[in-house]
Amino acid sequence: MDLKLITQRVQSDLQYIKEFTATPGSGCTRMPFSQETRYTAEYLKKVMADAGLEVREDCVGNIFGVRPGKDRSLPCIMVGSHYDSVYNGGDYDGIAGVISAVELARLLRDEDAELPCDFVAAAFMDEEGCRFGTGYFGSKCMLGQMTIEECRHYTDKDDISVYDAMKEYGLEPERLSEAAWPEGSIGHYIELHIEQGPVLDAEQTEIGLVDCIVGIQRYLVTICGRSDHAGTTPMDMRQDAVDIAAKVISKIGDMAREEGKGTVATVGYMKVTPSAMNVVAEKVDFSIDIRSSDNEVINRIAEKIRKELDEETGKTGASYSIDSKLTITPVNLNPGMLDIMEESCRKRGYSCRRMPSGAGHDALAIGQTIDTVMLFVPSKDGRSHCPAEYTPYEAFAKGILVLYDLIGQLQPQTGSCEK
C-alpha cells in the first residue's frame, strides 16, 4: 500500500472541505445544521459513493457509507468521527477522522478485500456541542440516547432549539428514534483523531494509542439579578449578576487545580444582559465544562460550584438556575484492539505510545457500550480548537495504515443482528 498515494488522497479531500467554513480566513466554523455542514455532507456522500460505499444520510444528519461484508448479519466494524467544528477551529478536528474512514474504504476497494462483516464509514453531526452547549448529538442519536424533548429544550445563543434548527435544515426531528441503530448491530467502533495536545509532537512520537477518555459534565448557569442605574445604586443595594458570576467563576479554575491529576474546568462562554457600561447587569449566562478521568472528581466540583452559587446569590437575594447539558462518564478503551494496533506500529516501524484523551470524542459516547479504540496523530505544538491546528498529511496516512491492519485482524463479534 502506497503511503504517498494515501497522503495525496487525504490531502486533496481535507483541502477541499476546509473551504466549507462560515469564517473564511479565520479558521473553521462549521456549526451543526448550517449551510457549511450541508456542503460538507454532500461532498462526503460523493467521496463515499466514489469509494464504492452504499451511502445514506439519516434523519439527524449523520452520514454512513457501508461496504458489505461476507456475512451481513454480523455486527459491523464502524470507523468515523464528526464533521462539525467549534467556532474558529482548525481544519482537522473530526473531519480528518471521517476522511480517514473514507480512505480505509478506498483501500479496501483497491485491495478487493472482503471483510467478514460490514465496514461502515461514519460522519457524525454535532459532536462538539458548540452551538447548543451539549455534545455527541449524532452519535447519541445513533445509540438511541437522544429524545425529542431534549431537542426542544436545548437552544443556541439566538434561542433556536435543536428541534427548530433541524427543521430549518430540512430534517424531521419527529423521526429521531429512526436514527437509532439496533442493539448489537455495531461490533467495533474505531476513531482516528488529531491529538489536540502537545505530547506526541514534543516527543516526536508518530502514533498515540488512546486507552481512556475523560468524563465530562457541562452546565449552563444563569444568574438572575436586577438591572439598575450604575451611578445611583449603592453597592450594598444591588443584585449585580456580573459581580456574582465573577465571584463564582474566579473559584472554578482553582477547584480543578486543587483536584490535580489532569482535572480541568473551563468557563468558555458568557453572555451579559443587557450588557451596557452604565447598567447593573440583570442577567449573566455562563457555561461550565468539567473533565476528569475520575467521575467522583467531576461530581465533587459540580457540587462545590452549586454551593458557591447558593452562597453568592444568597448574599444579595439574587437567584440562579443551572441547566445540565451533558453528563458522560470516563471510558476505558478496548485492550485487545489496542494490542493489535501496537503490534501493527511495531511491524511498520512507527513509534507509538499509550495515552489518555482529555478531549471528548464520539468514541467517548460510543465506547460506553461498544468495543472501541482511538488512534491519535500529532498536532503541531499541541494547538487545536483554533485556526493554528496543523498535522502533516503523511501522519494521517500512517494512522490509516495502522487502522487497516486493525480492521483486517478484528474477529467479528458473534451473534447476528437485525439491521
* Residues of the shown chain interacting with ligand GLV in the complex, contacts defined by CB under 6 A: 128, 359-360
Burial of 324 per CB tally in 10 Å (0-12, 13-18, 19+): exposed
| Residues 389 and 89: beta-carbon distance below 8 Å | yes
360 binds, among Mn ion, ligand GLV, none (CB under 5 to 8 A by kind): ligand GLV
The residue at minimum Cβ distance from Mn ion is 94
Closest contact distance (angstroms) between CB of 74 and ligand GLV is 31
Min dist. Cβ of residue 93 to ligand GLV (A): 6
Q: Is 312 in the site for Mn ion (CB under 5 A)?
A: no
Task: Give whichever of 288 and 410 is closer to Mn ion, judged by the CB atom.
Answer: 288
In a 3-state reduction of DSSP, which class is residue 283? strand
395 binds, among ligand GLV, Mn ion, none (CB under 5 to 8 A by kind): none
> Cell for 158?
439566538
For Mn ion, the binding residue among 94, 135, 187, 215 (CB under 5 A) is: 94
Using CB under 5 A, count the residues that bind Mn ion: 2
- DSSP SS3 for 36: helix
Q: Quick one: what does residue 75 bind among Mn ion, ligand GLV, none, with the CB cut-off 5 to 8 Å set by partner type?
A: none
The reply on whether position 93 binds Mn ion by CB under 5 A is yes
Residue 128 CB, nearest approach to Mn ion (Å): 5
Smallest separation, CB 113 to ligand GLV (Å): 32
**Crossing angle (nearest 10°) for helices 95-110 and 393-409:** 60
Which residue in 66, 50, 64 sits closest to 16, CA to CA?
A: 50
Q: Which is nearer to ligand GLV, 360 or 367 (CB)?
A: 360
Among residues 108 and 366, whose Cβ is nearest to Mn ion? 366
Distance CA(268)–CA(285), nearest Å, equals: 11
Closest CA to 125 of 18, 50, 41: 41
Nearest C-alpha neighbor of 413 from the set 153, 185, 207 = 185
Q: Any idea what DSSP says for residue 414? A: S
Q: Whose Cβ is closer to ligand GLV: residue 176's or residue 214's? A: 214
Stretch that binds Mn ion, among 88-96, 106-114, 312-320, 369-377 (CB under 5 A): 88-96
Q: How many CA atoms lie within 13 A of 85 on its CB side?
A: 30
Q: How many residues does the chain have?
A: 419
Give 127 or 371: the residue with its C-beta nearer to ligand GLV: 127
**Which residues face 44 on adjacent strands?**
none
Residue whose CB is less far from Mn ion, 173 or 360: 360
Handedness of CA 27, 378, 264, 83 (dihedral sign): positive
Greatest distance between any 2 Cα atoms in the chain: 78
Nearest alpha carbon to residue 222 among 309, 315, 314? 309
Minimum CB–partner distance for residue 62 and Mn ion (Å):
15
- Choose among Mn ion, ligand GLV, none what residue 84 binds, the Cβ cut-off being 5 to 8 Å by kind: none
Give Cα separations from 156 to 119, 160, 169, 262 (angstroms).
Answer: 35, 5, 15, 29
Residue 39 · residue 20 · CB < 8 Å:
yes
- Please tell me the distance from the alpha carbon of residue 343 to that of residue 294, in angstroms, as a whole number: 29
Scanning 94-102, 140-148, 234-242, 265-273 for contacts with Mn ion by CB under 5 A, the matching segment is 94-102
Contact 355, 211 (CB under 8 A): yes
Min dist. Cβ of residue 360 to ligand GLV (A): 4
Interaction of residue 191 with Mn ion, rule CB under 5 A: no
Q: Least CB distance from residue 289 to Mn ion, whole Å?
A: 12
Cβ 31 to ligand GLV shortest distance, Å: 14
CB of 235 to ligand GLV, least distance (A): 38
Of 58 and 362, which has the nearer Cβ to ligand GLV?
362
Which option in Mn ion, ligand GLV, none does residue 150 bind, with CB closer than 5 to 8 A by kind?
none
| Residues in contact with Mn ion by the rule CB under 5 A | 93-94
